[in-house]
Structure 1
């Protein structure tokens, strides 16, 4: 296998996108997520857009953005998690701030290649890239995949679930944990998606009723109002800090 990035192999951007996405289709309608379009990441930070090749075929990708953190105005990581990190990165570009921290915003492994430790390989490479760039840390707004099976459970309660050996019950959190990452906070509103009920039906195939509605690929329910023709999804993540 061989690791590449878009700085040297810009032609890999489209093939890497063919690996799919995490979560339900509706996550692609988080408006802040427009800042994370692959074309933008490739143009601004191609050295942090990684693609792992197996016989020249992409089997995993990872993307990260540099931000200035901590600062007097940013003493803690944002409660808005993934969205908040993207906004910080955009602010820093516009304000001309020098970054000090790398934030991993995506790690995706091809379905047929899962279970081979490739996600850990991508995270380790991001850590190496952060060190090489002179950054002080790598942080990740982690989306605990197992929470899809418990969307009515609070993120705080969920992350306290442990296996008999004391490790995280959630498999994706456990991958980070094995690499030495530590949990440093909760991002209760890491991603927010709003839409009409017709849009939500199109995105999920669910007929919505007033109140909380569980949707495929969601870590939390969608709060719907029939009278207002509105559905709101607020996804929680947790912040993990990787030692460099």
Structure 2
């Protein structure tokens, strides 16, 4: 598991430097950009968990960066801007921001707001599994691969999150069947294998040689954290 990654997109370098100092002291990983175009590139490249975003950037409007982030992520989006008109703030929330902080602000207040959003969204290192190019959020039950959301059927999702909540622990097909389908189900054990197979096709780079959901021959299946 990794520390929470924060991307700052802001054209005032002194402010970036101050925020980096405070955020890194709190244990966050910080990446920064002074332009919208570079910010968009970093969203794709680094898959940040939190985006701190100014609106007035030298090359493009910050709202465009926010839309890009929302297309890619369910992470925390916080605007930091000197623009405080009601129309602008409302537009920010319509795009999907989690908070809107008006400049000038106290970095201590920003840290408090970030932590509040982390608690609210469940964005904590203990609640997010990052395995290679796969991110599993145990709180909001979402899965992303290469920063793209993975759509899972109900039983596939239940299987994955049961294994994710018990990483590296081996479960037999019978145990998974009882846990996911229940004793009264009309399905059979082959259903477990079928759903694991379709799940692997969605989350593995090579389903025939799975890195994440591994088979322990003679024993069962596990979600491997060694990636």
* TM norm. shorter chain > 0.5: no
TM-score for the superposition, normalised by structure 1: 0.28
TM-score for the superposition, normalised by structure 2: 0.29
Tell me which of the two structures has the higher relative contact order, counting C-alpha pairs closer than 8 angstroms and 6 or more residues apart: 1
Q: Which has the larger radius of gyration?
A: 2
More helix by share: 2
More strand by share: 1
